[in-house]
Amino acid sequence: MLLTARYVLPVSGPHIENGAVLVRGAEIAAVGDADALKAAHPDEEVRDYGHAALMPGFIDLHTHLEFSAMRGLVDDVPYSQWKIQLMDLESRFDSQDWEDASLLGAMEAVESGITTLADITESGASARSAAKAGLRGFIYREVSTMDKARVPEVMAAADEDIAEWRELRGDGRLEIGIAPHSTYTCHPELFQSVADYAVRGNIPVSMHVAGSRDEYDFVKYGSSRLAVEFRDRYGTGDIGWLPTGVGPVRYILQWGLMDVPNMLAVHCTQVDDADVEVLAGNDVAIAHCPRCNAKLGMGMAPLGQFLHAGIRVGIGTDSPASNNTMDMFDEMRIGLLLQRAVAGHEQFFIARQFVKLATLDAARALRIDDRVGSLEPGKQADIIAVDMSHSHQIPAMYPYSTLVHTANQENVLFTMVAGEVLYERGEWLTLDTERAAARAEEMRVRLRS
Ligand SMILES: [Zn+2]
């Protein structure tokens, strides 16, 4: 199959005008000039996307697909308040709700040009929906307990789920990892067990780290809303907690979590220079979630400092319960503008850097950049087409920056993973989307009542 469009943005190199990508089976066979590739392969089926950009699919480094039906349910409150209110509502979900909500999330991901996601789930609904949709992903089994005595049973249950979820797809699109939820929901012994487990089995780990000032204050001083209100609601109010005197990054360092082979820390807004050194020294990757961090008042991650220290960083949307949409264009644009607003001309990011953060750099963060993240021969055919024909997008002078400054998720025309078309101009080829949308509406009515 030969995909053609006005622009090809390989990410690994400059854009190609009137370009094409030749797909053979699951892989990219060639990238180049459309006329030349058509002449060389006259019998190939051609799909033309017109005034659009062909680019690698987005790699969303932080999602919770199963929270998609909670979109906008708790809006306009700061992080800990949001967390507490959401937790109260979660209890009204049954297992079928989690499944259907995650299908809605998978539907949005596919429609928004996300081809790989790093998702944290306890129920496994995200794993099943990602598998059904045909998405590539790292699905992390969430674990949490503040009760030391419960650590063995929590780990045993996770181990069982991880083995089961590994069977969901036999084609290597899904990798299963483990995710200790956070500093304020996990006993240190759980961190140690997760670290041992991940090192032993070479299992990827993801964790929310240093995401809010309340989390920082909880770990360092034993104070904030997370120390009192949250713990009472969460049922851990009677389990002792002493201030540790250090911030979240150095706290988890003590428990071996950074010794694991493939660690992805999420948020990292509350970090100082020494923390950045620790993260870099331990080769921890970071999921930077600029829009969620801003929306919930979680703070601003020092992106320039991360990159300067050589940390592998990519972009994550977080769940629709916190961020409302899984729109990687919004994420790139707002992320870029926030950096420019704060850093000024000192460290002036350009649009193309953010396209790379959302694709190739994110692949590096997951250690899968040998397979995905850019349009190059031999890589997996994870490709999207983004419409750039609208009046607010033409003329496009520099397609990488046009993409960041003018496009949105609804401009995605086509999504392909490993050579399989998942979405094409308003049609989902792998998912029953009517049911997912209808069930989301039902859940909303119940959650409101
Ligand atoms: Zn999260």
| Calpha distance 198→290 (Å, rounded) | 28
Residue 273 CA to ligand 1 center (angstroms) comes to: 24
The predicted-structure confidence for 330-339, as pLDDT tens digits, reads as follows 999 999 999 9
The neighbour count for residue 195, using CB atoms within 10 Å, is 21
Mean pLDDT of 416-425: 98
Residue 347 CA to ligand 1 center (angstroms) comes to: 28
Q: How far apart are the first and last CA of the chain?
A: 50
In percent, the amount of the chain with pLDDT more than 70 equals 100
Task: State residue 437's pLDDT score.
Answer: 86
Residue 134 CA to ligand 1 center (angstroms) comes to: 22
Residue 148, classed as helix, strand or coil, is helix
Residue 31 CA to ligand 1 center (angstroms) comes to: 36
The predicted-structure confidence for 225-279, as pLDDT tens digits, reads as follows 888 888 888 888 888 888 999 999 999 999 999 999 999 999 999 999 999 999 9
Read out DSSP for 81-121? Answer: HHHHHHHHHHTT--HHHHHHHHHHHHHHHHHTTEEEEEEEE
Residue 27 CA to ligand 1 center (angstroms) comes to: 31
Task: State residue 343's pLDDT score.
Answer: 85
Task: State residue 235's pLDDT score.
Answer: 82
74 pLDDT more than 80: yes
446 pLDDT more than 90: no
449 pLDDT more than 80: no
149-158, 339-348, 409-418, range with the lowest pLDDT: 339-348
Residue 370 CA to ligand 1 center (angstroms) comes to: 26
Residue 392 CA to ligand 1 center (angstroms) comes to: 33
Residue 190 CA to ligand 1 center (angstroms) comes to: 19
Residue 252 CA to ligand 1 center (angstroms) comes to: 17
Residue 63 CA to ligand 1 center (angstroms) comes to: 6
Q: In three state form, how does the secondary structure of 32-87 look?
A: EEHHHHHHHCCCCCEEECCCEEEEECEEEEEECHHHHHHCCCCCCCCHHHHHHHHH
Residue 140 CA to ligand 1 center (angstroms) comes to: 11
Cβ atoms of residues 121 and 419 within 8 Å: no
Beta strands in 155-312 (DSSP E): 174-180, 205-209, 263-267, 285-288
Residue 318 CA to ligand 1 center (angstroms) comes to: 5
Residue 167 CA to ligand 1 center (angstroms) comes to: 25
Exposure class string for 153-179: b at 16+ Cβ within 10 A, else e: ebbeebbebbeebeebbeeebbbbbbb
Computed on alpha carbons and rounded to an integer, the radius of gyration of the chain in Å comes to 21
Q: Does the global pTM surpass 0.85?
A: yes
Cβ atoms of residues 127 and 162 within 8 Å: no
Domain spans of the chain? 2-56+380-433, 58-366
Residue 296 CA to ligand 1 center (angstroms) comes to: 12
Residue 291 CA to ligand 1 center (angstroms) comes to: 12
Residue 302 CA to ligand 1 center (angstroms) comes to: 19
Residue 115 CA to ligand 1 center (angstroms) comes to: 19
Residue 62 CA to ligand 1 center (angstroms) comes to: 6
Mean pLDDT, the chain, rounded, equals 95
Beta strands in 361-424 (DSSP E): 383-387, 412-417, 420-424
Residue 117 CA to ligand 1 center (angstroms) comes to: 12
Residue 15 CA to ligand 1 center (angstroms) comes to: 33
111 pLDDT more than 80: yes
325 CA to centre of own chain: 12
Residue 58 CA to ligand 1 center (angstroms) comes to: 18
* Phi, psi for residue 383 in degrees, rounded to 5: -130, 145
20-34, 304-318, 388-402, 431-445, range with the lowest pLDDT: 431-445
Task: State residue 228's pLDDT score.
Answer: 82
Residue 45 CA to ligand 1 center (angstroms) comes to: 41
**371: amino acid identity, one letter:** R
What's the fold here for domain 58-366?
TIM Barrel (3.20.20)
What's the fold here for domain 2-56+380-433?
Urease, subunit C; domain 1 (2.30.40)
Residue 118 CA to ligand 1 center (angstroms) comes to: 10
Residue 144 CA to ligand 1 center (angstroms) comes to: 14
Cβ atoms of residues 230 and 241 within 8 Å: no
Residue 130 CA to ligand 1 center (angstroms) comes to: 17
88 pLDDT more than 90: no
Residue 360 CA to ligand 1 center (angstroms) comes to: 21
Sole residue written with tokens 């992390």: 140
Task: State residue 99's pLDDT score.
Answer: 94
Residue 225 CA to ligand 1 center (angstroms) comes to: 18
